[in-house]
Copies of this chain bind each other. A is one copy, B any other.
């Protein structure tokens, strides 16, 4: 099957850089480079014998494909850019995992960008990623710079937004209503008989603010809203802030009988402070958080919070993107995955 092969094959020019290329394999096996390419990409359309020889040659030569060349020639990168505010926040790590689970089996590689909750940084990231020719883009939320929106429009790359919802039918999104969740959690406190319900918010990203709006709506509807019971700071969230924020809130409004912390991290810090100070939770003070982190079921007392379907958000956003990248239309432009109230000991 070797020397008998006397067809005149235009000798594939072997690499000049020393790297092993398709042409090297082609030469070794005695076929055209395109056949080698096919043997890897669509093995079924290459004759068995040829395919096997190609595979063996590839192994022997230590062939490694070159994505840059493939991307350039095919105009498909098999990359998906995913931008999240932070990976110090488990919420987004879980979301990324969901995205990855779905996309990796489809052969896509994630390009992960961290925006630091900053639209300008997000724009910078986007500008960095677009040259990679991503086949799709996944963003967090809807707060993007003018230029980011323009960039997305110009490139025409299919895009899905995560973690928030929109009415805009031109946008695809997967998430849940942060506002409704904030509302429900506050209603829970009202129903437990609390009347001086405070809100402590940090970071103040769009999702935190939506939760705050839900809180406010619930209290306003119940005639309990009192602006003296809220504390909004733009500091980055962290467990260490919990204690001081608790103190600050109680100093500001000593009659507070419940605190809605905008996320579980600062709620944990606050619970520790309650332990140190001997503040009895929930007797003296109810404490609730948001996100249902791993630790929240185990704190003392266990923390009442909102469980968010972030992994599912990631998975569904990825599925939606896969459809869009295939030129198909998802059933809905806006997928609401809901949330669930976890009532535990702290309220």
A positions within 8 Å CB-CB of B = 17, 62, 64-69, 71-72, 75, 77, 87-88, 90, 93-94, 96-97, 100, 109-112, 114, 128, 130-133, 154-155, 238-240, 242-243, 268-269, 272, 275-276, 294-295, 297-300
- What chain B residues lie within 8 Å of A64 (beta carbons)? 130-131, 154-155
A87/B93 contact (C-beta < 8 A), A71-B68, A109-B128 known: yes
Question: Is A68's CB under 8 angstroms from B62's CB?
Answer: no
Question: Is A72's CB under 8 angstroms from B62's CB?
Answer: no
The residue on B at minimum CB distance from A92 is B87
Question: Is B68's CB under 8 angstroms from A294's CB?
Answer: no
Question: Is B269's CB under 8 angstroms from A298's CB?
Answer: yes
- What chain B residues lie within 8 Å of A300 (beta carbons)? 272, 275-276
17 contacts between A and B (CB under 8 A): A64-B130, A64-B155, A67-B131, A67-B132, A68-B69, A68-B72, A68-B77, A69-B72, A87-B87, A238-B294, A239-B294, A240-B294, A268-B295, A272-B298, A272-B299, A272-B300, A276-B300
The residue on B at minimum CB distance from A129 is B109
Question: Is A298's CB under 8 angstroms from B243's CB?
Answer: yes
The residue on B at minimum CB distance from A300 is B275
Distance, CA A294 to CA B236, complexed state (A): 13
Distance, CA A100 to CA B294, complexed state (A): 27
The residue on B at minimum CB distance from A109 is B128
Question: Is B299's CB under 8 angstroms from A133's CB?
Answer: no
The residue on B at minimum CB distance from A155 is B64
